[in-house]
Amino acid sequence: MIERLRTTVTQVAEAALGIVGVRVGTEEPPHTTESLTGAVEIRRYEPRIAAETVVDADEERARNEGFRRLAGYIFGGNQGPDRIAMTAPVGQSASRGQTIAMTAPVSRAASDEGWVVRFFMPSRWTMDTLPAPKDDRVRLVEVPAETVAVLRFSGDRGAQAVAERTTELLEILKSRGIDTTGEPMSWFYDPPWTVSFRRRNEIAVPVSR
């Protein structure tokens, strides 16, 4: 009972901090960073694992539905036998299945079948130790090492804002003679209840360096 109360208090405190964009203990995939301009960074990410789902819907609905499916997986919608204490920002789930700490960012990109939405898994997990999803629309994938150019912004993250920032990033890269090697992705670090001006949003595109 005491442990459950402590967990609840922690969840409430972390949710409150999330309103103003404070991400307590949220792990990010390991990477190195090089500044390209005042607005753009070049990052090199190591191989990592993601849970992903493909949603055939408009951009906003795909983001919400994809988030719901993937949250279901990390909150215990999987084949694991035990619960695992959460790091942040999510808390304990029901007793069936394992819960997995959410990392940042949530990634979204277009594909021929719809929008691909991803949660990156914490670095402690491997393909051998991660529990299998119960939802057959969710799958675990190995994401190879990659170099990406990243434009960070706050505020609105609707379809128009994302499109404008994507165009901005691509124009900066073109002006610098940097070739892109893949499609742009949208990365989101904060929950929907975070106040707009405190949100961390990013556009990322693979590049050749």
pLDDT in tens, 104-139: 778 878 777 789 999 888 888 899 999 999 999 999
Q: How confident is the model at residue 171 (pLDDT cuts 50, 70, 90)?
A: very high
pLDDT at residue number 100 = 66
Beta-strand relationship, 139-143 and 48-55:
antiparallel
pLDDT at residue number 95 = 32
What whole-number distance in Å separates Cα of residue 155 and Cα of residue 153?
Answer: 7
Contact (Cβ atoms closer than 8 angstroms) between residue 23 and residue 198 = no
Evaluate if residue 15 carries a pLDDT over 60: no
pLDDT at residue number 74 = 82
Evaluate if residue 85 carries a pLDDT over 50: no
Contact (Cβ atoms closer than 8 angstroms) between residue 97 and residue 110 = no
200 is written with which tokens? 């961390």
Contact (Cβ atoms closer than 8 angstroms) between residue 195 and residue 19 = yes
What whole-number distance in Å separates Cα of residue 208 and Cα of residue 148?
Answer: 8
92 is written with which tokens? 């304990």
Within 52-134, where are the H helices? 59-74
pLDDT at residue number 142 = 96
pLDDT at residue number 208 = 92
Tokens 């990322």 — which residue? 204
| Domains, in order of start, for the chain | 2-206 (3.20.80.10)
